[in-house]
Every structure is written in structure tokens, then in C-alpha cells.
Structure 1
Amino acid sequence: MSRYIVGLTGGIGSGKTTVANLFGAKGIDLVDADIVAREIVEPGQPALEAIAERFGTDILANDGSLRRAQLRQIVFTDPQQRIWLEQLTHPLIRRRILDQLNQAQSSYAMLVSPLLLETNQRQLCNHILVVDLPESLQLERTARRDNNSLEQVKAIMKAQTSRANRLKQADSRIDNSQQPDSLNKQVDDLHQQFLSLATAHNETR
């Protein structure tokens, strides 16, 4: 891929969407793996048909859409079911992500993905940016935001790579445990850095 790609990731509740939107406000094209993951299981999509065949039609709402919370509860309590689901969806997600990255027009593009480091999506990126905060804050913010039990949030966190491993693989880090002004300043500084990196990248192509 010729365009410079920044991969943005972080644990659940870390504030990836907030950070991504700040970059988007600067005119950066965003490709959100979570949005892509929802698109591939919309009614009429082959992936949704396969999911309904495996888990039964109770996994579907009255309008034919996927009961995502119900599926999440199944796959995060049964590792084999999660593996099956990932084998079904990950290739479809990757293909659509590639299409969208190739259509990006901004100086650099940003791939936003909670599973960037757990999947081969990281191979699409030139630079890894991790949104970081203590795990206690992750738990607190996620439970409050999604109205999930602490046990379910912990199960989701356990399925993701550890905080230490994320930071080890990061090229850059955003500390999202501070006040909003600090977050804006970090994004401003990184944006300028990414513009320079993208320019250098383009000159060496």
C-alpha cells in the first residue's frame, strides 16, 4: 500500500473513538474496523446468514439484524465460538478495510481498530499509535458507558492483548487519563509528526 497509514488502537474504554474523531476533524480520512465489522453482518450479508445458522435465529432481532450484545456474551465466554467467529469475519473485515484505505485522499490515513495488534491488520500500518490509560479506568469507563457488568468487561479485556504488550508495540502513545486539554495537545503534536512522516514516506516511494 503506497499511502502512509497510522494504526490507532487501545483497550476497550481507552477512548479510541474520541481520539480518532480529533484526527478526523483535522481532515484525516478514518477507516474504523468496528464500523466495518458491523457492516459485514448487516441483514442480507453472507456473514450474518452463517452466524444465524450456527447460533440459531434467536441471535437475530425482529428486524433481522444481529443481536450484538447476545453474540458478544456467547463468544467472550466460549473461546471456541470466538475463534469460529473470528475465522469467519476477519478476512471479510480486512478486505473491506483495504478497499477503504485505498480510497483515502488525506495526507495520511488512519486505521482505527481495537484488534489491530491481535490480527494481521497491523501489517497494513506504517506507524502504531496506542491510546493508553490504566486498566482500572478502562473498567470504570466501559462499565459506565455500556452498562455492562465488570465481569463481562474483564472478559473482553482478557481477549485483547495486554496493556504492557500494546505499549511495547507502540511507535507513539497518547495518555488519555488526563484532562481534555491534554488530549487535544497530544493530538495536535502527533498530527504534525504524522504529516512529516507521510511526506518523507511519499518522497521515498
Structure 2
Amino acid sequence: MKKVVLFHLLPVLFCIAGLLFFYHDLNSIFFKKTSPKEIDKSLSLIGNFTTHPEYEDLFLTTGDSSEKIWMLGSSELGVNTDATPYNFINNNFKTRLTAVGHAGNQSLSIYSMLLANVSKLRNAPIIILVSPGWFNSKSAAGTSAQIFLEFNSTPFLDNIVFNDSDKAFRQYEAKRVSELFDELSNPSLALKAMYFENYSERNVIS
């Protein structure tokens, strides 16, 4: 009887538990259909990738010209004046600047976006607009789970899990994701993988 339980019932229970745990991931992979959106390559501000997923593949690309800059930041990008970098540079120079971000897009979110696109980082024209408020105000609590997901979609997170970035960078990502895990609703397969990776690392160390 013990052999029956060990070799037959337990594997079945594990399979059922796995299917339930990854149900939302499998459903989105095999059944979710999205219509392609028209891409405006001249767009100067991308608020986030949740509302603009069509721009994810363009992130950090320069096209045929070297006259292209990407700026990552938070609330400062929401101040739309003539002096705002994506307006000032685009209106006065040949160089094109595309900004990505809004209030709350802080260190962890930006770190993850860059890690997800590690293959594009060499000589990439990137400016990170760091706000003092990240460190000395209420915002110092860090990137929230909601904001994190606005800029780090399933494709980006999959890239982090499977790309060739330094192991230490991925381990740090897994650690930070684990700290946010309880705030995540229906976390993706990649987020679950990072959570379990961090859990395994902690158990091995301890």
C-alpha cells in the first residue's frame, strides 16, 4: 500500500497541485489572444508597458540612427513643460529622446527593465533620472508591486529567468521579487520561478 501511495498517488497529487498553481500562466500562454497595435516610433513618453505593450520590443533600440536616447525615471517625467527633457531635446536637436516612466517607477522597476534587456545594454544610450525622493521621503519604501508590474511584463520577466545575465544579478532580482510576492495577484510563471529560486537559495545557505 505504501508503494502505491508513493509511486502513484503522490505524483498525481503533485501534478494536480502544479496545474492549479500554474493555471493562470497556462491559460494566458495558450488561450490569450491580443490584436497588434499601431506603433508610433516618434512617441516621446511611454507611461508604462501595461498600456503600451507594443513598445516593449522597441525598448533600448536605436534604429538606424545613433541619435537616439532612452530616459528612465519616475514622477519628474510627468511634468510636461518645454523644459522637460523629452520635449526640450526633441524640439531643439536632431537627437530623439524617448522617456519611460511615471511616479513610482523606482530603482527595482528600472533595474528589472534593464536586466530583462541585458542583450541591448552594451553601449546603449540610457539616462536614469534619479529622484532624491526615492531615498528621503515616503517613496523610500521602494517600488510597489503594482508599479513593478506596469513596467515588467511577462515577456520581460521571462527574459530575466532565461537570459545570460550574471547569476548574481538574477539572484538579487529573485530576492527582491520574493519580498514583493505576497502583494502580487496571480503571479506569472517567471515570478513564481524567481520566488522558488530565492527560497531554494535561502534553504541551501541555511
Q: TM-score, normalised by structure 1?
A: 0.28
Which protein has the larger Cα radius of gyration, Structure 1 or Structure 2?
2
Q: TM-score, normalised by structure 2?
A: 0.27
